[in-house]
Structures are given as structure tokens and as C-alpha cells.
Amino acid sequence: MDTSAWIQYNPKITIDHTTKKYFGKYLYKLVIYAPAGRLIDSKPGESMDRALQRRRAIYSQVSQNSWWGARQNRDIDNADIDLLEILRSIRLNRPAGIKLRVEEPRVQIYAETEQQLENLVKTHLGTQFCNHVESMVGPANNKCADILNSGAILRKKDVGYKYKVILRDGRYDFDAKQSILQYLLNLGEDQAQLPKSGYDMLNKHTSYIWNLYFFANDPQVTSFLSLISPGIVSNIHELVVLHNK
């Protein structure tokens, strides 16, 4: 990744390295400061100025004494209609290999290649808004890109396990959750490790699980989980430690 090129857009930009493909597809991520970013999903024919004024009216009703209210009003004062129009245009045109995600006050743009993001910045943001680019994330080098494309996760430190197993978000009955929990515990720490958050989630009587994972040394441990609840295993990622990535 050519960090010097991105520093030219914004000398204060933060550069980081990808450790896992985003959404299982993208190697690169650009973060743009864009308050009121959800307005990029407003209707194409709607005036962005009108949409912003409507948002201002809503936020003006939020208590300024609350942390959330104060933050929302402060951010919306920094909203730029022209930037929001540009981002809405990108969203509507859906360039190949590009995905947008809004997490106000920022918009994240994901891409399969670095060149796609460079072209997007040059073509759409230009010199007027390139300083809104806060951070850029991409593989450190071609070796790391190849590892990530294989489906593996890069780590700076060895956690003592070879794989990270992701369980599918969803609703599961308590008996199934208990069976999964007991199975993982019975494997022993030499074979699998379930984070405390995962232990607590499986032990609760609530039906839903989300962001649940565990570490393992043998991917075959997932076979029994699939018998307990077919389809519960969302993904298995090899863990690759690169100390100098």
C-alpha cells in the first residue's frame, strides 16, 4: 500500500493494515468524516438541503443536556451538503467493487483494490473534500494480501490456537445453546477456548446470539456443532501470525 499517496490527500490521515477481509470480500477501507451521512440514502430527487434541514429540526428537539443530544447537534453543524451529494451519487451509481456503509458521523467506503479508492477520491472528492478522508486501511504488502484472500486472519500475537470459528447470528433455543456450551467446555482449553462474553451469551435464557466466536486448534470440532444446530457455523478462519506485517 502506497502510504505516501494518501498522506498527500490529508497529512493527518491515519494509515492502518487490514487483518481480516471486510464482509468476506474487501481488502481496503476508507473512512470519510461526513456528519449527517445517513442522508446519502435520501431519495435522488429530494433536495439535500431540505433533507438536512429536516434532520436539524429533529435534533433540535433532542435534549442538549444529554451526551447523545449534544453530540448529534454538534456533528450536524459540520454537515456539508455538497459532500453529502457526492456520497449519495456514489451510493446510487454503485461502482463495481465498491461498498458504502454509514456510521455517523462517518461514511466507510470498502473496495477490492487500492486503485479503486484512489480513483474514487480523485474523481469525486477532489481537492475540495480529500481532507475529509480520516483513515485508510489496506494490506501491508502483497504477501499479506494473498494470506487475507485465502480467508485467513492476520494477527500480531499468537493466541495459542490455529483457527477462529464464527457462529451465525440468530435465534436458538436454550437447550441447543446449552449443548453448544457444554461441548466447547468439554473439549478443554487445549482444543478450544470460548471468550467469557460467549460463555455468558450461551448461558443466558435469551434466544439470540450475535458476534459469537471461539478459538480452536482443529476445524473438525465444528462437525458436532453442526449436528446440534445445522448451519450454526458461519465461518472458519485460519489464524496467521506475522510479527512484522
> Please, which residues have CB within 8 angstroms of residue 244's CB and are 6 or more apart in sequence?
none
- Phi, psi values for residue 90, rounded to 5°: -65, -45
Q: Which of 222, 236, 158, 233 is nearest to 191 (CA)?
A: 222
Kind and range of the H or E element at 122?
none
pLDDT tens for the 245 residues of the chain, in order: 778 888 988 899 999 999 999 999 999 999 999 999 999 998 888 899 999 988 888 777 665 555 555 555 567 888 999 999 999 999 998 888 999 999 989 999 999 999 999 999 999 988 889 889 999 999 999 999 999 999 999 998 999 999 999 999 999 999 999 999 999 999 999 999 999 999 999 999 888 999 999 999 999 999 999 999 999 999 999 999 987 54
Boundaries of every domain in the chain:
3-144, 153-241
**Span 159-173, pLDDT tens digits:** 999 999 999 999 999
CA contacts within 13 A on the Cβ side of 205: 0
- For the domain covering 153-241, report its CATH number: 3.90.1170
Predicted TM-score (pTM) of the model is 0.84
Question: Which amino acid is residue 206, in one-letter code?
Answer: T
**Alpha-carbon span 137 to 207, nearest angstrom:** 35
CA dist 37 → 11, 32, 85, 214 (Å): 23, 10, 10, 34
Q: Is 150 exposed, middle or buried (0-12, 13-18, 19+ CB in 10 A)?
A: exposed
**Alpha-carbon span 176 to 200, nearest angstrom:** 15
Number of H helices and E strands in the chain, helices first, is 10, 12
